[in-house]
Homo-oligomer: A and B are copies of this chain.
Amino acid sequence: MNKQELIDQIRTKGSFLCVGLDVDLEKIPAHLLKLDDPIFEFNKAIIDATHDLVVAYKPNTAFYEAYGLKGWTSLAKTIDYLNKKHPEIFTIADAKRGDIGNTSTRYAKAFFEDMNFDSVTVAPYMGSDSVEPFLAFKDKFTIMLALTSNKGGLDFQVLKDKEGTTIYEKVLKKSLEWQNSDQLMYVVGATRPEFFQKIRNIVPNHFLLVPGVGAQGGDLRSVCKYGLNDEIGLLINSSRQIIYASDKVDFASKAREKALELRMEMADIIDKAKS
């Protein structure tokens, strides 16, 4: 998928919502556990119930790896289902990978070619040659951690150099020098709305993937106030709040209700941004 197709989808749906498919067998409705592949069945039901309200799905690979080969099979089936049934939807492998040169290329192939995700999240610590191999794939996006929403995000990301520039700003600035940097997006936590203005000064045009709205306490409108750009430029992720809205047989319709609430708020924000 290219950037314009993502923007078009956002405009058409009036939504920049991403749903995190972080499936935990201890949290999904009990009746699914009797099925052959409960994880896939859960994802399929969530996708069927919400696909017209969301523009992206983001399975976090940790939840699949934790179930070994079975988990990887469920992940492969989920992405396959999305690509076949809803090719217009932007898919994110939330894998936070990163390694040296050719090794990063292997990760890129695993997610971009083998599974055909539109994007993958990566960690910046190893620098240019750990990220550029991902950027070499045409019409694929590399979503780099910049400022994360967790407590430990403050351990290193906001350290300052002698000119007062923080590490996450350095990461943003440096990454713009990398080859195919227009295929970058950045992870910025919703729990840090006060930083969005600074971030938009450095990367006015790139998409930001924003986790932490809802369960982690981030506020949608505060994020949009500074994060929104002319092309929207935001993908707001919500996981638990939507997918675990109910643990009963009505889980999919409850997930739809929650997604609809967020999508309504987003449509309103998009609308107001126009005027």
| Contact surface of A with B, Cβ cutoff 8 Å | 22, 60, 62-63, 65-69, 72-73, 76, 96-101, 103-104, 106-107, 109-110, 114-115, 123-131, 145, 148-157, 159-162, 164, 167, 170-171, 174
Contact = CB atoms under 8 A, between A and B. Distances in A.
A113 B44 CA distance: 28
Contacts of A103: 22, 60, 62-63
24 contacts: A62-B99, A62-B103, A62-B106, A63-B106, A65-B106, A68-B110, A68-B115, A72-B72, A96-B126, A100-B148, A100-B150, A123-B126, A124-B156, A125-B148, A127-B153, A129-B150, A129-B151, A130-B150, A130-B152, A156-B167, A156-B170, A159-B167, A159-B170, A161-B162
Nearest to A155: B127
Nearest to A131: B152
A98 to B, nearest CB: 6
A128 to B, nearest CB: 4
A66 B109 contact: yes
Nearest to A60: B103
Task: Report how many copies the assembly holds.
Answer: 2
A222 to B, nearest CB: 20
Q: Which 8 A-B pairs have the closest CB atoms?
A: A127-B152, A127-B155, A128-B152, A66-B106, A62-B106, A65-B110, A129-B152, A100-B150
Contact of A125 (B68, B109, B115, B157): B157
A67 B106 CA distance: 9
Contacts of A174: 155-156
A104 to B, nearest CB: 7
A68 B116 CA distance: 12
Nearest to A165: B159
B123 A98 contact: yes
Of A145, A152, A156, most B-chain CB atoms within 10 Å: A152
